[in-house]
Amino acid sequence: MKGGSMIIVLKPNVTPEQKDHIIQKIIIGGLAPHIMQGVERVVIAVIGDDRKLPKESLASLPGVEEVIRILSPYKLVSREFQKEDTVVDVNGIKIGDKKIVVMAGPCSVETREGTLSIAQEVQVAGAVILRGGAFKPRTSPYSFQGLGEEGLEYLSEARAKTGLIVITEMMDPRDMPLMLKYTDIIQIGARNMQNFRLLSEVGKCRKPVMLKRGLSATIQEFLLSAEYIFAAGNHQVILCERGIRTFETATRNTLDLSAVCVIKQLSHLPVIVDPSHAVGKAEFVPALARAAVAVGADGVMIEVHSNPAEAYCDGEQALLPVQFKELMVSLRKIATAVGREM
């Protein structure tokens, strides 16, 4: 975007007429206004080539308190645009608030009975969100690719029986009708972090979106991908750190816990950590989950399976239900220690 972007901070006593006039001025100038209701102020992000509409002409409008240039390449997801943390409310479950959320379930939805059983186990242990893949992005074309709509139906039934809300991965814009019908949170996987058409499509819907960090993505690239969703109109975005590819081969990926701290400084979006995909080995998952809570993550995503040895995919990183229950006990203690709740 040539010329950068700006934030217009409105006066506390701005009138509706003044606010409408400011918005119309931005639109007529060929720019896009994004309105954010803050705790104390209303701010408007002006996105586009701001040379068409000089800063001075906006600063002089009635109702405008201040005009500030946004310096970061990502505009709407930056702390410059919004100082307060974003809290994504999904049917009463608040992600990014004081309470840490736990997402748990199988890597992929396999059978109706298995899905219902795992859902009940993780719900009793304290999880509030059921994870499970109905569409699976696999490196090999011969690996299990997911049950599709049948899997989504199993997740929906599990939600009805347990009260858990559902998160599942979307891989293709053509699956949007199914996502809108069955899921509560749309997950965009690491391999699709820079699938910009897909990001724009989920940006047009009003379902919350959890965006996973790409395998080799920098934090700036990660936040710019989130910007695609925001810029398309969907401000219910959750970020997920799931490990990055490095030279190290002892674990599946390298979990970048420093990313939680850095993102919290640069962005107002909530951050979830997925230690299961990061480490790839069940024995290391509990320690990394505890570390994630300690460094300030807003939640964790844990793979749980009743019989990991028979799992269709990623069984080596799944916890047994009894192990997940034990993990939840320790997570509660750490949450309390860092001033959070579970």
pLDDT tens digits, one per residue of 248-267: 999 999 999 999 999 999 99
Sign, CA dihedral 11-16-17-22, equals positive
State the CB neighbour count (10 A cutoff) for residue 126.
16
Q: Of 230, 228, 260, nearest to 244 (Cα)?
A: 260
pTM: 0.90
Q: Look at strands 209-212 and 88-90 and give their pairing.
A: unpaired
The residues, ordered by sequence, that sit 6+ positions from 129 with a Cβ below 8 Å of its Cβ are 90, 93, 101, 102, 103, 104, 164, 165, 166, 167, 184, 185
The answer to whether position 213 is within a domain reads yes
Q: Tell me which residue range forms the domain holding 56.
A: 5-70
pLDDT of residue 93: 96
What's the mean pLDDT when you consider all of the chain? 92
Q: Extract the tokens encoding 94.
A: 């608040």
Give the 3-state secondary structure of residue 338: coil
282 lies in the same domain as 153: yes
| Chain centroid to CA 184 | 12
How big is the chain, counted in residues? 342
Give the 3-state secondary structure of residue 204: helix
| Chain centroid to CA 46 | 24
Give the 3-state secondary structure of residue 171: coil
| Chain centroid to CA 105 | 17
Tokens 């102020």, residue located: 41
pLDDT-derived band at 37, boundaries 50, 70, 90: confident
298 lies in the same domain as 234: yes
Average pLDDT over residues 153-176: 95
For residues 318 and 276, the answer to whether their CB atoms sit within 8 Å is yes
pLDDT of residue 1: 40
| Chain centroid to CA 66 | 31
Average pLDDT over residues 68-84: 89
- Domain termination site, one of 18, 40, 70: 70
133 lies in the same domain as 10: no
- Express each pLDDT in 130-143 by its tens digit: 999 888 665 565 55
241 lies in the same domain as 306: yes
Average pLDDT over residues 204-228: 96
pLDDT exceeds cutoff 50 at 19: yes
